[in-house]
Structure 1
Amino acid sequence: MEKKSMDNVQAQFVELLSCAIRGKKVDERALGKYDWKELLEYADVHHVIGLVYSALPKSREFTGADERLLEQFKKETALTIVGQIQHIRQVAYVLGKFKEVNIPVILLKGLVVRGLYPLPELRTMCDADILVKESDLGKVDELMKNIGYAEGEKSPVHVSYFNKDYNRIEVHWTIEDRRFFNDEYGLEEDMWQRAEKTKIGEIEALSFAPEDLALHLCIHMAVHIITGGFGIRQLCDLVLLVEKKGYSINWQSFCEKMEKWGIEKFVSALFMLCNQLFHMPIPDEIEKNTSRIDMDIVDNLAEDIISGGVYGKKDLPYIFANEMAYDHEGRHAGSTTGVMMRLLKLLFPPWDRLSDQYAYARKYKILLPVAWLHHIISGIRRREYGWNEKIRFLKSIIFISRKRHKLLKRLEL
């Protein structure tokens, strides 16, 4: 990508990832120039430490390398591998229980794309996403509770289950989030019929056909950039899917579905970005749509993804700003007034968006004003930040939020 889009450390970070996802080692002669401390920070906030480490040559004699930081890379990579092995074993156990009671399951996202990586354990996951039929939700809930999971957060498309010893499992009954997309065309209806057999450990399950998987990855990224952002790991997923399974995808059909869902401009920019960062070939059918995408949109998208970390949660200003960037009502859209109005909504959230700290207001709606006051006082009293820091924090939130809102508007999201 052009240098104006990324600073040196970001370019080094992308170079390492580009090698890692293809099972290659980075040129040892360049490593002495790397900023290892910042590289580790980027790898950490994007949850790709193991991937970055896998691209380093085995020799540790290159000039300028920080041995202490390299050792930290190595340690984190080992912990990542062990953690992911345990995670997959537990998912296989849960899927085995589903199979015993004849609940069909489609594996989603990381559970499937991990198989495209040179070493699947380096494609990290902090949870497991699965798709079941809505008619099976009652059986799923009973089963999950019987094997030691408790029901957690519920959204219009999924319910989370928690176990103190294992990663969260998110059970989806649809990929059509009607808060953001209106799928009047029923694109999901045939996905179950097209689903292909796969395995987790020794347990058989289903995965989307490559075209449907590409569709879902793009929809998932569209939802996340609207609601807060997504990290570079999801770009890596798309790159590997296109490079390894693209030959079996009907790209004309894919483009028609993206158009029906209203995210064709976002997807075109996404493919352009994957080409710029990872030299991923763009299918001819998508290439036709890229002429309407200005390169500065792609540059801004790159900055948003790389700077924001996983799901746009690099730090507090990004978290709050990303919460405010999407204006559901569209009024006062990109203005400072609009941002301030969304800030007020963040300070005075509706009862169903309050954290567990204010569960009393979710249970007794009459206590909502008390929860708001509690929420604001808690923020004011935080002693780790002085008033100057809080003012800079607010200015940073407004700046990032306006910038993200402009990007979403230009992507037609």
Structure 2
Amino acid sequence: MGNNNIDYIFQMCRKRLYGDYYSLDRISESNISYKELLDDIFQNNLEAFLYPVLKQVKNDDSYFYENFSALEMAVKKWMFEELKKYQIIRTINSEAEKRGLNFVFFKGIVLADLYPQYAERFSSDSDILVSDDQKTEAETLLKECGYSKYKEGSKEEVQVYANSTYGHTVELHTRLWEDYTGPRIEVLKTMNLSSPETDIKIKACGIDINTLGHEKHLVYQMFHIIKHFSLDGIGIRYLIDITLFVNKYFDEIDFTLFWKHMDMLGYTKFVEAFFRICIVELKMTDKVFDNHQVKWDSSVENLKLDLLKIGNIHDKEAGWQIMGAMEAYFTGEAKASDSSFKNKLRMAFPSVKALPKVYGYAKKCPILLPVAWIHRDVKFLIKKAIHKDDFYGINEKMSVADRRLRLIKELELTD
């Protein structure tokens, strides 16, 4: 994505959020490839959100004009499908109340409510937190509402259920941090992000729901964002989500406590840079930095470029190869080195702590670590044969992961 495209997408976002208060350059005068611009908008899942703005500029470019009808039909279809999902969410929520189940909704529906039109925020799933003792009843409710369990996608602490009629998936959490373990997760546990004392009731997308308290929800969102940033990269929509959330709930968030929590998790520098982009590009309130000392460096621009590229591991369809290798750095089990050679060496021969969970036998019995290395290499050869050109080679994988680690270290996420 060229710098012109980056700047123009942010112009469009500001125009959509704040209307006539912000102007929009003509595409024809901005040295922009409209095809690339559309590709970037689709990649960032912003087509419905920016559709009203795209309508205003459709006469600026012949490619745009010729393809706008198809875009318009697609967006209307997608938004209709999105509205269907809220029908079943309303049913699930109502049934939970009737049965005395405490369903705590987070992310999706809460964030969608902040958009100019909630169906503009496409989402295939809903995240719901339940207690261990209500898990079985919650799963029964979902089955009775037409959901089937996706066993391959489920984990110990996250059960995944899909409803093909509504094109909707529910991720039923018994832990906000899913199945992750490690030093950072232990810190997160001490924050008690969800409890009857701090959970709140709000109306979101026309539905009365239980959700996390606003400060704790913001802490969780940064955890979630940093998870994706560390493992596979994130895009512009996360900036919009946080901007809208902070601007709406600023007066109800204890930012002194929030920054304390960021310090405890080792997230401070990342969040400072992330917030800076939200403030400059999307006009989030700068009051988030009141009584908070911050120094800027090149990490802000480096993060901005990475965000807009949605990380650097999506150059191939097999970007998921990198995710397992990055998990230990996200959870705090491993630390990145200043040396690219050392990072690549650790990637080739990971320690027990840095192994993906699929090699759990080596975690339980460290003497089997060499066996895990061989196991991983055999799996690589098999998958390489299947995926062929879409699969990272060994050296390529290490180089991509090293670039990711250097940015993570620059943002102090491995300290």
TM over 0.5: yes
Measure how far apart 1:81 and its partner are. Answer: 0.8
Check the 8 A contact 1:196/1:206 in 2, yes or no. yes
Partner of 1:265: 269
Q: Distance in 1 between matches of 2:63 and 2:250?
A: 38
Letter in 1 for 2:190: G
Measure how far apart 1:161 and its partner are. Answer: 1.5
Partner of 2:175: helix, strand, or coil?
Answer: coil
Residue 358 (structure 2) aligned to one of 346, 352, 358: 352
Measure how far apart 1:68 and its partner are. Answer: 2.5
Residue 234 (structure 2) aligned to one of 230, 233, 251: 230
Greater mean deviation of Cα atoms: 186-195 or 97-106: 186-195
User: Deviations 1:300-329 (Å, cap 9, x if unpaired)?
Assistant: 1112211126x9646436443454345443
Partner of 2:67: helix, strand, or coil?
Answer: helix
Q: Distance in 2 between matches of 1:173 and 1:390?
A: 34
Greater mean deviation of Cα atoms: 85-94 or 335-344: 335-344
Q: Distance in 2 between matches of 1:59 and 1:244?
A: 29
Q: Residues 272-291 of structure 1: matches in 2 within 5 Å?
A: 272-283=276-287, 285=289, 288-291=292-295
Partner of 1:116: 114
Change (3 A) 1:216 1:60: same
Measure how far apart 1:86 and its partner are. Answer: 1.2
Letter in 1 for 2:317: L
Measure how far apart 1:271 and its partner are. Answer: 0.8
TM-score of the aligned structures, taking structure 2 as reference length: 0.80
Check the 8 A contact 1:26/1:57 in 2, yes or no. no
Q: Residues 194-273 of structure 1: matches in 2 within 5 Å?
A: 194-199=198-203, 203-273=207-277
Partner of 2:26: helix, strand, or coil?
Answer: helix
Q: Distance in 1 between matches of 2:234 and 2:188?
A: 26
Partner of 2:286: helix, strand, or coil?
Answer: coil
Q: Residues 65-76 of structure 1: matches in 2 within 5 Å?
A: 66-76=64-74
Measure how far apart 1:155 and its partner are. Answer: 3.5
Greater mean deviation of Cα atoms: 398-407 or 62-71: 62-71
Partner of 1:358: none
Check the 8 A contact 2:200/2:211 in 1, yes or no. yes
Q: Distance in 2 between matches of 1:408 and 1:371?
A: 24
Change (3 A) 1:159 1:241: same
Partner of 2:186: helix, strand, or coil?
Answer: coil
Partner of 1:158: 158
Change (3 A) 1:88 1:12: same
Partner of 2:94: 96
Instruction: Indicate yes or no: 2:8 matched with 1:12.
Output: yes
Count of residue correspondences: 388
User: Deviations 1:345-401 (Å, cap 9, x if unpaired)?
Assistant: 7xxx868379xxxxxxxxxxx9x9899746523423546x3xxx978x665543332
Letter in 2 for 1:9: N
Check the 8 A contact 2:104/2:209 in 1, yes or no. yes
Partner of 1:283: helix, strand, or coil?
Answer: helix
Check the 8 A contact 1:275/1:281 in 2, yes or no. yes
Change (3 A) 1:185 1:104: closer
Change (3 A) 1:92 1:81: same
Check the 8 A contact 2:340/2:402 in 1, yes or no. yes
Measure how far apart 1:238 and its partner are. Answer: 0.5
Partner of 1:407: 407
Measure how far apart 1:75 and its partner are. Answer: 2.5
Check the 8 A contact 1:106/1:205 in 2, yes or no. yes
Letter in 1 for 2:384: G
Measure how far apart 1:297 and its partner are. Answer: 0.9
Instruction: Indicate yes or no: 2:148 matched with 1:149.
Output: yes
Residue 305 (structure 2) aligned to one of 303, 321, 340: 303
Change (3 A) 1:24 1:129: farther
Q: Distance in 1 between matches of 2:283 and 2:395?
A: 36
CA RMSD of superposed structures (Å): 3.5
User: Deviations 1:12-44 (Å, cap 9, x if unpaired)?
Assistant: 222222322345597455222442211111122
- Unaligned 5+ segments in structure 1 are 355-365
Partner of 1:360: none
Partner of 2:59: helix, strand, or coil?
Answer: coil
Measure how far apart 1:239 and its partner are. Answer: 0.5
Letter in 1 for 2:89: V
